Structure 1
Amino acid sequence: MSGERATTTVRIERVVTSGVFELDGGSWEVENNVWLIGDDSEVLVIDAAHTAAPIIDAVAGRRVVGIVCTHGHNDHVTVAPQLSASLHAPIMLNPDDDPLWQMTHPGVAYWPLADGDRIEVAGTAVEVLHTPGHSPGSVCLYLPATGDLFSGDTLFCGGPGATGRSFSDFPTIIASIRDRLLTLPPATRVHTGHGDGTLVGTEAPDLAAWIERGH
């Protein structure tokens, strides 16, 4: 675990877990970023990837406001029910991703997330942005007070998330990125679901190239 950003009231921490992403009959070894937003007393967990123990260790006994799944792919929700039970916290997911959720956790309930929802943690408002494309229910989380964006698999360093599999659509993810993410301040720090982070202002000039590339 490594601290990514600190302010006087809120800190952001990252846990990296490894496992397998499975969809459409294929499987891929992946490393996922699990993000924690909080302070010494409470924390919000973003994504529940692969292995519960390192996430629980990072929580370190703090009250967990919720476990937000940025989308329903199995590598982002693997241990969501286990974390929910261990940490006494609700699972949160946009219901447009319910078909994907049911592939991994059939019949398990979650709290429905909607565009414009606000989650309060450590005195800071976390805004939910519905950004479909990588999946129908993909969401990003934005902290206006600190200038941080958690983009799941919607936006990466170097372009949009993958759209070549079931439940995904390239024009839709481009619209989400153009209209919801690249409109944020250029200095906004982007914390991604996999790999290294970036800045909104770093990615914005490449939008036309992504569209021309077509994937």
Structure 2
Amino acid sequence: MVDWHTRGEAGSGVIRLSEPHVNELLSANFWWLRGNDRDLVIDAGLGVVALREAIPAMFERDPMVLLTHAHLDHVGGAAEFTDRAAHPAEAELLTAGVPASLYGAELFDKLGIDATGEPVPELMIDVLPDPDYDPASYRIPPMTLHRLLDDGDHVDLGGRTLTVLHLPGHTPGSIALLEQRTGTLYSGDIIYEGALIDDLPNSDVAAYRRSMEFLADLDVSVVHPGHGRSFDRTRLRQLAEAYLRRDVQTRKS
């Protein structure tokens, strides 16, 4: 059995988890936060390996899973949780079943990604989690949400409170979570180091620009993104402003 997840301390009571054997496009971070009263897991990875089997301690306090948006690399393990939350705009897709495949060409087709001129991976993982695993069996089951969270809502874990920020653009219901006491922002796929995706069928560039304008002025200490490394407020502003410049240049060309 392959050790599928990596774990690392990301601050007091915060654990970063990732899946190193997943293709870069889908290799996402998810975050396990411990409060005094209960735990919160922000996003749930690709779901190739069952979280309850791989990380049983995560479930000891019946955590809530809060999904930043409804893409397979962030919701794959969400069905394992008994308390699931997301923005209302993502609920319909989660209920219908999030498009998913471990085969590159099939996945790109399901997501509406135009890969013209770009190499498409045959398989989105570089090793099987166990010798008997069949990639064709991978799917994300339809799931209902137990809580709908919108802009300004609070999630209180006891000694740790997070505020929901609705920042659409990547998807209609993309959210980030801000822990104001520590200045920590969990940004999902709204912003991270790398090429930001705003051309999926349900993306909205105008909304994304408004979200970036908000983030450029947001006072935070650290950003824990959905992909890649964490960064500080200076880098947050640089990334947001780079997106805003890029979009202006694209529209002029």
The TM-score, its normalising length taken from structure 2, stands at 0.69
In the alignment, the residues of structure 1 paired with residue 209 and residue 27 of structure 2 have an alpha-carbon distance, to the nearest angstrom, of: 24
Q: Distance in 1 between matches of 2:241 and 2:37?
A: 43
Equivalent positions of 1:1-215 (< 5 A) are 1-6=7-12, 11-17=13-19, 30-39=26-35, 42-51=38-47, 52-53=50-51, 57=55, 59-82=57-80, 84=81, 89-101=82-94, 102-104=96-98, 108-110=143-145, 111-157=147-193, 161-179=196-214, 181-185=215-219, 187-214=220-247
Q: What is the number of residues matched between the two proteins?
A: 197
Paired amino acid for 2:26: V
Please tell me the residue identity of whatever aligns with 2:14: I
Relative to its length, the structure with more strand (as a share) is: 1
Question: For the residues of structure 1 that align with 2:56 and 2:206, how far apart are their CA atoms?
Answer: 37
Distance 1:100 1:124 in 2: 30
Larger radius of gyration: 2
Q: 1:59 to 1:130 in 2, by over 3 A?
A: farther
TM-score normalised over the length of structure 1:
0.80
C-alpha RMSD over aligned residues: 2.6
Change in Cα spacing, 1:12 to 1:68, as seen in structure 2 (3 Å) is same
Deviation (angstroms), 1:49 = 1.1
User: Which consecutive unaligned segments of at least 5 residues does structure 2 have?
Assistant: 1-6, 99-139
Preserved CA contact (<8 Å) 1:149 1:189: yes
How far apart, CA to CA, are the structure 2 residues paired with 1:118 and 1:60?
22
Q: Which runs of 5+ in 1 are unaligned?
A: 22-27
Q: Percent identity?
A: 28
1:157–1:72 Cα change, 3 Å: same
